[in-house]
Amino acid sequence: MEAIDRGLNYNLGLLLSDSASRAAQGARWRALKDLLPNVSAHVSGTRQQINLAALGFPGLIPAIPQIIGPFNVFDARVFLSQTIFNLNAIYNARAESDNLKAAQYTYRDARDVVVLVCANLYLQAVAGTSRVEAARAQVKTAKVLYEQAVDLKKAGVVPSIDVLRSQVEFQAQQQRLIFLENEFAKQKLGLARAIGLPIGQRFELTDRIPFTPLPPMTPDEALQRAYDSRSDYQGALALVAAAASGSKAARWERLPSLELHGDFGDIGQTVDSARVTFSVGVELKIPIFQGGSTHGKILEADALLRRRKDELEDLRSRIDYEIQSAFLDLNASEKQVQVAKSTLDLANEQMKQAQDRFSAGVVNSIEVVQAQDAVAVATENYISSLYAFNIAKASLGRAMGVSEEAAKEFLGGEN
């Protein structure tokens, strides 16, 4: 549906989730800094005059002046540093890579939530349309009955009380129509805000409430698909992996690290007189005592890992609950739709017979009013059960992690 497509493009929550994914990308690149080569360039030109006595060289040899210079120094050089071995940096980079995956899964999960919200709001608005149309039909019917009662009273067939009953029913249906039209207008406002329509933009709902049975599927199949497809579950797995890498990184901080350093460039008094020089070195860093910071990082990393694992198990339980709950709602609402449809057909038939009996003067207006109220109740029950059935299908799609596919697969069908 177009409403879902607009929600995926303009919903604020989805835009914020995308920003979080970009932030995780930045954190990953910062972690890679300690593993990738660091290259920098330096060009300088200075004019110096040095006092040897200030540097600790008193005038021991009279032939050497205490003040040297002024003289020029030109230096153009490229510096390189590269980590050769640093397990702490390696596992930190892995942790940030897994955090990036988790952020990307969170974005996809946010898309599923937006689809469910937009589908829910759209179905609410469509149900509101159906309620308004049904109320208008009932107002029209009540008006016809009222006019019929007036004509029958003039003919001396029915008493004044039947006219009053018909008039009260006519005005009650008008009042109900006003309420439902207002509710429908607010539902459209909520839908417009969720899908990012400009303020004041007028629009019409083109798709009506469909009813199609759910494609054959068992709860176990849906549960397995949820574990394979749900972005929040995949993101939780990525967070567990990130926490495990972070725990290893904290432990490997105790190990030595090895780095390569070098520079290459020209140095001299002038550009023309500059000559090539270079240096290459290897640095071994051996942590001996760090004030307990490494032990503290290990404790924090282990605590985070336990929390991520607990969150993953809780999510598994919640997914199972959501799948089972969605199937229960589907089964119940589908039966409700069937019963409500049958009840509505019976109520319409009852209404037709009551109108005929009233026109023939066999019964008074009480039977007609009761029949019309029965039609109103049956219509509302049918619309409500149909909405519940469709939102249950959308909820199942969300529980399975396939909201976007389910919006087309589950919500298609005839009006």
Running along the chain, 415 residues long, what does each successive block of 10 average in pLDDT?
A: 65 66 79 85 90 76 78 92 88 89 86 84 89 91 87 82 88 93 91 80 73 81 91 92 92 89 92 91 88 86 94 94 93 93 92 84 79 90 91 89 72 44
pLDDT of residue 414: 38
CA distance 44 to 162: 106
Q: Is the CB of residue 177 less than 8 Å from the CB of residue 141?
A: no
pLDDT of residue 349: 92
Judge if pTM exceeds 0.75: no
Q: Where are the alpha helices (DSSP H) in 219-292?
A: 219-229, 231-252
Q: Which long-range contacts (CB under 8 A, 24 or more apart) does 277-284 make?
A: 282/84, 282/258, 283/258, 283/259, 284/256, 284/257, 284/258
